[in-house]
Amino acid sequence: QTALIHRFNGIPFTTRSSPDLLKSLDAFDAREDDILLVSYPKSGTHWLAQIIMQIYTPKVTLTSPIEFGDISRVEELNNLSSKRIIPTHLDYNMLPSNFKVKQCKAFYIIRNPKDTAVSMYHYYRDNPNLPTIDSWTVFLELFLRGDVVCGSWFDHFLSWEEHKNDRNILFLFYEDMKKDLPKVVKKMSVFLGVNISDREIKEICEKSSFTEMKSNVEKENSDPNHTVCALTSNRKLIFRKGAVGDWKNHFTPKENKMFEEMFKKKMKLSELAKHIIY
Ligand code: PPS
């Protein structure tokens, strides 16, 4: 099973991201109107994509993650017409430099890492393309060590947080979206410079609810090309619970203490981490 994982720059990737592609990502031709949708896996990427696709009319193109595919991917993406919405789980240092030069707009979605870990654990368990995990306890150790696909949550977050004052990057929190989605949708549309009415915001929120998105996948109504996950093309695995605080059903008090200690240590200098809601 471990053969399905390889390391690049020390970070574990699935074989869906070929080493050749990862090596040649810098040849990627970014355009000023590209929009990046950045996340550590299991942070709400599909949710965000669903909202962005509705903010834009007429339709824009949602691609699969930039790091997903083989060497032909660079050319394939370069041939796509604008406007492109491009998801990625890459950390800032691995992002093709063209995006930085062109100062493309980017969203970075943050989810409480305890819930992210739980979501990823279930994802590993349900996904035959990922290594077998014996138990939650074993998975948590791997997660804290950064020995899971896309590497350490902490490193990913910190690499992007360094750019928290960049005007072209908007940081969003999953928990804020759960609490007041219309407010976040409004903020997103202002950032994108798209005018939408309160009625449209209401409609976008309805169509982006967990129940609605899950049932669309079950009805196979969604476009299979719209998978924004680098780990699988099976959209059905994405919509599990969509809740805040599911970690409480998994962490023992001892595991929680271990997590908190590591979080405090790693996030000592982080401003954004203060906003993470447990
Ligand atoms: S992936 O595979 O990394 O792209 O997954 P990602 O989309 O980032 O995250 C999957 C989790 O997001 C939850 N989700 C939602 N929550 C609330 N509302 C909506 N509409 C929504 N859509 C997806 C999804 O259920 C996964 O979390 P868990 O906790 O596993 O349910």
DSSP 143-200: HHHT-STT--HHHHHHHHHTTTT-TTEEEEEHHHHHH-HHHHHHHHHHHHT----HHH
Amino acid 231: pLDDT: 61
Partners of 35 in the β-ladder? 85, 105
**H-state helical runs in the chain:** 19-24, 45-55, 72-78, 97-101, 113-126, 136-145, 153-161, 174-179, 181-192, 198-207, 210-218, 253-266
Amino acid 16: pLDDT: 87
* Total domains, the chain: 1
* ∠ CA 168-174-179, rounded to 5°: 115
Q: Is 43 in the pocket of ligand 1 (CB under 6 A)?
A: yes
Amino acid 226: pLDDT: 56
Q: Is 4 exposed, middle or buried (0-12, 13-18, 19+ CB in 10 A)?
A: middle
Amino acid 40: pLDDT: 98
Mean per-residue pLDDT of the chain: 92
What CATH number is attached to the domain comprising 221? 3.40.50.300
Shortest-distance atom of ligand 1 to CA 229? 4
Amino acid 211: pLDDT: 95
Nearest CA to ligand 1 atom 5: 42
Expressed in angstroms and rounded, the spacing between residue 213 Cα and the centre of ligand 1 is 10
Mean pLDDT of 130-143: 95
Nearest CA to ligand 1 atom 27: 242
Amino acid 233: pLDDT: 62
Quick one: what percent of the chain has pLDDT higher than 90?
Answer: 81
Amino acid 94: pLDDT: 96
Nearest CA to ligand 1 atom 20: 210
Q: Is 64 in the pocket of ligand 1 (CB under 6 A)?
A: no
Nearest CA to ligand 1 atom 15: 242
Q: Is 204 in the pocket of ligand 1 (CB under 6 A)?
A: no
Amino acid 4: pLDDT: 82
Q: Give the range among 2-6, 51-55, 122-126, 194-198 with minimum mean pLDDT.
A: 2-6
CA distance 230 to 14: 8
**In contact, 192 and 199? CB cutoff 8 Å:** no
Mean pLDDT of 25-43: 95
Chain segment 86-127, per-residue pLDDT in tens: 999 999 999 999 999 999 999 999 999 999 999 999 999 988
Nearest CA to ligand 1 atom 17: 242
Expressed in angstroms and rounded, the spacing between residue 44 Cα and the centre of ligand 1 is 4
SS3 253: helix
Which sequence positions are flagged as catalytic?
Answer: 89
**In contact, 43 and 111? CB cutoff 8 Å:** yes
Q: Is 96 in the pocket of ligand 1 (CB under 6 A)?
A: no
**Per-residue pLDDT band at 218 (split at 50, 70, 90):** confident
Partners of 172 in the β-ladder? 109
CA distance 189 to 186: 5
pLDDT at 1 over 50: no
**Better-predicted residue by pLDDT, 169 or 224:** 169
Q: Is 119 in the pocket of ligand 1 (CB under 6 A)?
A: yes
| Spatial CA neighbour of 92 closest among 159, 154, 22, 153 | 159
Amino acid 222: pLDDT: 56
Structure tokens at 85: 């919405």
Which residue segment(s) compose the domain that 12 sits in? 2-275
**In contact, 175 and 277? CB cutoff 8 Å:** yes
Mean pLDDT of 55-67: 90
Expressed in angstroms and rounded, the spacing between residue 239 Cα and the centre of ligand 1 is 6
Segment (H or E) for 85: strand 84-88
Expressed in angstroms and rounded, the spacing between residue 46 Cα and the centre of ligand 1 is 6
